Structure 1
Amino acid sequence: MSAVSVGVGRAAFEVRGYFRSGDTVFFTFLFPVFMLALFATIFGGDGDVVPGPGVPGVSAPQLYLPGMLAAGLLLSGFQNLAVDIAMERSDGTLKRLGGTPLSPISYFAGKVGQVLVTGALQAALLIVVAIVAFDVPLPADPAAWATFAWVFLLGLTASALLGIAVSALPRTGRSATAVVVPIALVLQFVSGVYIWFWQLPDWLQHVASVFPVVWMARGMRSVFLPEEHAVLEIGETWGLGWVALVLAAWLVVGLALTRLTFRWNRRDA
């Protein structure tokens, strides 16, 4: 069997295992949905939010949706895989897989396939909740949905590869959550997920822009917010070319780090 076909079978196995784990489903699948509902409920009764002069006001749920979509990409790809693989390495699962004909390419394909499936389902659920519960308008332009598609694919793939690479940091499975979750949490706070990006100090916006979550959120804002909101971004434009370039660069970095750091066995084994 080819590495690709084995990877597809492995992805189906990974998806089944994912949805059988209650804590994983909540903290990586349902958590962005829960946070969208929470923030929309807290701030949704105050009327439309007007970010600045000449910028049309929109509802709080509409403002939070792009950030929660970006958070979903980070949690599904980066956090989920970093913790999952670290635990598999710690409990000997990777060592046993290393003794089988399964190639690293098929293993990676299975993991990335799993996050693509679960990430797509999560994004769909987020959008449905935003529409049904909070009456968030959707873009009518097909070009906006094309932008959504490539931001989603680039962002999720880059997050997944970075998650595989970072899985080498925890020394044990027990410490994986303590190592990975704070990284993901800080990235969300400084990237415009829980605090609107235009509210952050300028210096923090520039520092956060080094990391991919800012660009995932920016790309999603270009899809779901009015064009006039682009003036709130650095450079006063959506800068979708930069979004694609930065996410592609992080994808390459994640791939290189994965190649350098991945081991079937623990380093101290």
Structure 2
Amino acid sequence: MAVSRTVTTNSVPAQTGSGASGPESSGRLPGAWSLGLLRGGLEIRQFFRRNEQAIFTFAFPIVFLFLFATIFDGTMKGAGGATAPQYYVASMTAAGIMSTSFQSLGISIAIERDEKVLRRLRGTPMPPAAYFLGKIWLVLFTGLLETALLLVFGSLVYDVSLPSDLTGWLTFGWIFVLGITGCALLGIAISSVPKSAQSASSVVVLPFLVLEFISGVYILIDALPNWMLTVGAFFPLKWMCQGLRGVFLPHAAAALEPAGSWEYGRIALVLGAWCIGGLVLCLLTFRWKSRTDG
């Protein structure tokens, strides 16, 4: 006899339909991958239902690109003909990737924990991996969409040249994947730091804002003090900015970098290390219950 079972927590369905073919027809719950896809679709729908959040998320880097590219419009000295809009398209793209992963997950998971959503989910038959897969789909979707909007805006408004060959797009691709993966894992890890939903934004936004200033997002990399560059080099945002500058700026602009080159090998090593380190931090620190729940 087939078993029909529905688990609904925070509007997340995990169903097995009677009369369906496959694992569901034998009475087993769908696997983590299938539930992760369902959860991801739900996360994306819920994201766009919060109109203010969606608009702010996608508008923030575009508005800042407009402001900085307009204020510092013109060719940058010693950058091989690179323009300020080219520089800020790369920087804001990197910041946008970290915003949709680190900042978004750090705040949203902390809120869900404080509101006991995570505790209820943990008490259902849904595999824990499905919850994280859902978050990954959300981060990938919003990260890609925000990046596409930013590149289209930079190309149309400031005539920023996009990569003209496959190598440039492949470089962009692996920087995007490693960067968003490492930042997402760090976002999950830092979500355990806030003691309440009310403090989540302050705890997560402050370090992100500091990193933006010391990683060359808002200030030209050659104008930053050496000690700031050293501190910023410990974190992934600086390396994402540097790698994306290599994609969008002419090769001669590498003279602006502290090492005088784009250092793609080191970028891959640092971002890869943050992916591994972020995973370890998640495994060591992630909690399904808030501190007040014991």
Asked if Structure 1 and Structure 2 have the same fold, meaning a TM-score greater than 0.5 normalized by the shorter chain, the answer is yes
Structure 1 distance, partners of 2:68, 2:289, is: 42
Match of 2:220 in 1: 196
Paired amino acid for 2:232: A
Match of 1:215 in 2: 239
Match of 2:94 in 1: 70
The structural deviation recorded for 1:100 is 1.0
| Number of corresponding residues | 264
The unaligned stretches of length 5 or more in structure 1 are none
Match of 2:32 in 1: 3
The structural deviation recorded for 1:137 is 1.3
Structure 2 distance, partners of 1:257, 1:118, is: 24
Structure 1 distance, partners of 2:72, 2:159, is: 14
The structural deviation recorded for 1:204 is 1.5
Match of 2:75 in 1: 48
Aligned residue runs from structure 1 range 224-263, under 5 A:
224-263=248-287
Is 2:56 aligned against 1:12?
no
The structural deviation recorded for 1:24 is 2.6
Verify the 8 A CA contact 1:24 1:80 in the aligned structure 2: no
- CA distance 1:23–1:177, change in 2 (3 Å): farther
Structure 2 distance, partners of 1:235, 1:161, is: 28
Structure 2 distance, partners of 1:189, 1:26, is: 24
Match of 2:143 in 1: 119
Match of 2:125 in 1: 101
Over residues 157-207 of structure 1, what are the superposed CA-to-partner deviations in whole Å (9 max), with x where a residue is unaligned? 111110000000000001101111111100111001011112101222122
Paired amino acid for 1:187: L
Is 2:113 aligned against 1:84?
no
Paired amino acid for 1:263: R
Paired amino acid for 1:198: D
Structure 1 stretches of at least 4 aligned residues deviating more than 4 Å after TM superposition: none
Over residues 99-129 of structure 1, what are the superposed CA-to-partner deviations in whole Å (9 max), with x where a residue is unaligned? 1112221111110111001000000000000
Name which of 153, 168, 171 aligns with 1:144: 168
The structural deviation recorded for 1:41 is 2.3
Where 1:174 maps in the other structure, the secondary structure is helix
The structural deviation recorded for 1:42 is 2.3
When the two chains are superposed, the root-mean-square deviation of aligned CA atoms in Å is: 1.2
- CA distance 1:184–1:26, change in 2 (3 Å): farther
Over residues 130-163 of structure 1, what are the superposed CA-to-partner deviations in whole Å (9 max), with x where a residue is unaligned? 0111111112121010000010011001111100
The structural deviation recorded for 1:10 is 0.9
Structure 1 distance, partners of 2:224, 2:156, is: 30
Verify the 8 A CA contact 2:82 2:253 in the aligned structure 1: no
Verify the 8 A CA contact 1:29 1:76 in the aligned structure 2: no
Mean Cα deviation higher: 230-239 or 218-227? 230-239
Where 2:204 maps in the other structure, the secondary structure is helix
Match of 1:25 in 2: 54
The unaligned stretches of length 5 or more in structure 2 are 1-29
The structural deviation recorded for 1:266 is 0.8
Paired amino acid for 2:141: V
Match of 1:60 in 2: 84
Tell me which of the two structures has the higher relative contact order, counting C-alpha pairs closer than 8 angstroms and 6 or more residues apart: 1
Match of 1:130 in 2: 154
Structure 1 distance, partners of 2:51, 2:229, is: 35
Q: Which has the larger radius of gyration?
A: 2
The structural deviation recorded for 1:43 is 2.4
The structural deviation recorded for 1:2 is 1.7
Verify the 8 A CA contact 1:8 1:113 in the aligned structure 2: yes
Structure 1 distance, partners of 2:255, 2:121, is: 51
Structure 2 distance, partners of 1:188, 1:101, is: 40
